[in-house]
Amino acid sequence: MKNKVWFITGASQGFGLIFVKKLLEKGHCVLATSRNPEKIVQEIGKNENLLAVKVDLSKQKELDKAMKQCFDKFGSIDILLNNAGYGQLWTFEETSDEEIRKCFEVNFFGTLNATRAALPYMRQQKSGHIFTTSSVWGYVGDPYISTYAAVKFATDGWTEALSHELENLNIGVSCIKPGGFRTNFLESTSMVTGESKIEDYKTARDAYFDGIAKFNKQQDGDPEKYCDFIINLTNKTTKPPLHIFTGRDAYKKAETKIANLKKDMKILKKEATNLHVK
């Protein structure tokens, strides 16, 4: 198995940190970005195959510089893992414009910035794979995730379109849509809620977030197995698929939506497909 060079965003906690540890154990090279790269070094220690770099994902120049550091040190950029981000859960009406734009800036535009920085190297190599971490909430909309769903639906659509643009360049693209995994996603370090409160939403909203609090660390998914699964996909002779749902709950949600989608399409099919110019 050829050792690969991975560029990982958001690598100081959660999935990102687990990926870094596992990849280094397997002998791969990793450039790991974070706003606090010292946390990565504290967790892992010094390793000649690790380069931990401070990066603000909203700043294209910082990502361009980090990508060059990665290429100069390790000689290639084989895998880009867009992992950085945070959850924004609240009702839409109670979420401010500023909160929504910040969520897009980090979760969506940060992903675009990292990918923009990686593509020149992958085009030069005529190889590479881009994994973008979305969410099952990027395919299925649930209550109280309107902002997060908007970001992840946008990520899903962008990834799908990008995959077609890059397929002739031998650059693969995958959008990962995880369900619930026992990371710190539901804790304050990774998930924020709104500050505004409207009385009409209070009873249902409070009940939902009480449930979320009890669900933390009770999720079905094992993050160690998740990371092993993604890493193993890169060792196969065929490129990973575009859409990757991970977790039993993600599959259940997606399959339910697909069934409902087919049902809705069937109801109106005769009328909706009779709108053409005669």
Catalytic residue flag (residue 148):
yes
Q: Which residue has the tokens 């992903």?
A: 111
Catalytic residue flag (residue 152):
yes
> How is residue 32 written in tokens?
């790991």
Residue type, 89: L
Count Cα neighbours of 264 within 13 Å in the Cβ-side half-sphere: 6
CA–CA separation, 91 vs 87, rounded Å? 13
CA–CA separation, 165 vs 180, rounded Å? 31
Q: What is the DSSP string of 194-262?
A: -S---GGGHHHHHHHHHHHHHHTT--SB-HHHHHHHHHHHTTSSSPPPSEEEESHHHHHHHHHHHHHHH
Q: Of residues 34, 134, 135, 163, which has the active-site annotation?
A: 134
Q: Of residues 121, 148, 174, 226, which has the active-site annotation?
A: 148
CA–CA separation, 166 vs 171, rounded Å? 6
Q: Of residues 21, 152, 177, 253, which has the active-site annotation?
A: 152
Residues annotated as catalytic (active site), given as ranges:
134, 148, 152
